[in-house]
Amino acid sequence: MPLVAHNDLPTFKLLQSGGELVLSLDRATRQDIRELHIGFLNMMPDAALTATEQQFIRFVGASNQIAQFYVYPFSLPELNRGEKAEAHIKEHYFNFEDLASQGLDALIITGANVTNPDLEREDFWDPLMEVVSWAENNVASVLCSCLATHAVVKHHHGISRSRMATKKWGVFSHKISQPGHPLMRDVNTRFDAPHSRYNEVTKAQLEDAGLVVLVESDDAGVHLAVSPDLLRIVYFQGHPEYDAISLLKEYKREVIRFFKGEREHGPRYPENYFSPQAGEVAKQYFHRAEKAAARGADLPPFPDAELEALVDNTWGDTGKAIVNNWLGLVYRLTNLDRKEQFMPGVDPDDPLQLKG
């Protein structure tokens, strides 16, 4: 169902040019279809700000719910931004205070880069918790991604994430552990999903806190968990929103960081991501770059186009299916909230009414 281009956010035009259905505000207001208003707290660093914006808004737009989706991106002033990102946010993003006043049906919170081992010491912690606390009583559901998951389980349940020996980075096979859950409707019981993180919360930690683990991997750990009421908070530890080239862009950034002296060793390849042919292309480039660095010459151009043709997206359909199920449950729950005014006995807080 269509997204609504209710302001001049460039992502709407980009998605429309790529074949996504995006309605103008004038056309949308003349259609008799229910609206869902979704907040999107984008905390990603500048290099990934607009890419993450496009990935999550595309997910929402790919939903098959009979609804018009208004997505309201906003960020936190405490996040360190460059001039270009600040200008983008100032021109196209919304203020949280205004969104809280007008009301939202659901909220998506992205990950973020951190500088402290203790999340509570981050400058963005208090304003993030202000948003989370507001959402507890004012939206039907909150969907958290990666760092946001770690922050919210810390806030709600006192769960502290732990640093892993090496970065969990790549594409991993996962299995649904609760196939009867409504978020798992029509989702393959086994599927791939990307991860990119140095820290983790474990299945044991989540289950000890009463959370329900829905999807996990023998190699990557928990991918998806939910609050015990089935919907109020959805926790992704992986990255279902990633494009086919998202891990490639991360690898490129780490290669460049190495040659700038910002990291001691060259990066590993993302696991289960590069084909043998892609690995050979990356290996040959690294050798050429080493020789150029030894001579004091400029690094050769990274082989973006060649590698982009050699990597695959093996997780996108599953991610879209899960987000579609989530939006469907939000739609039904918000409908129950509205019907309660006219239908005594309908309890919008009863998760059993979301099944079936």
Calpha distance 219→86 (Å, rounded): 38
Region of residue 103 (left: phi > 0; alpha: psi -120 to 50; beta: else): left
Contact 106, 325 (CB under 8 A): no
Length, in residues, of the chain: 356
User: Which residues make beta-bridge pairs with 107?
Assistant: 39, 142
Which residue numbers are catalytic? 146, 239, 241
Which pairing describes strands 162-176 and 212-217: parallel, antiparallel, or unpaired? antiparallel
* Interval 327-352: pLDDT, tens: 999 988 887 654 443 333 434 445 44
pLDDT at residue 17 above 50? yes
Nearest Cα neighbor of 330 from 70, 54, 126, 117 is 70
Rounded average pLDDT over 269-294: 96
DSSP per-residue letters across 166-229: EEEEEEEEEEES-TTSGGGTT--SEEEEEEEEEEE--HHHHHHTT-EEEEEETTTEEEEEE-TT
Percent pLDDT > 70 in the chain is: 93
| Domain edges within the chain | 3-243+313-354, 246-308
Average pLDDT for 228-237: 92
Tell me which residue has tokens 């926790």. 235
Per-residue pLDDT tens digits for 115-153: 887 899 999 999 999 999 999 999 999 999 999 999 999
CATH superfamily of 3-243+313-354: Class I glutamine amidotransferase (GATase) domain (3.40.50.880)
SS3 116: coil
Sequence-distant (≥ 6) Cβ neighbours of residue 147 within 8 angstroms = 43, 110, 111, 112, 113, 114, 197
Q: In this predicted model, what pLDDT tens digit does every residue of 266-276 receive, in sequence order?
A: 999 999 999 99
Tokens of 34: 């229910």
- Two tokens at 64? 């098959």
Global pTM value: 0.88
Q: Are 239 and 146 in contact (CB under 8 A)?
A: yes
Residue 76 reports pLDDT greater than 70: yes
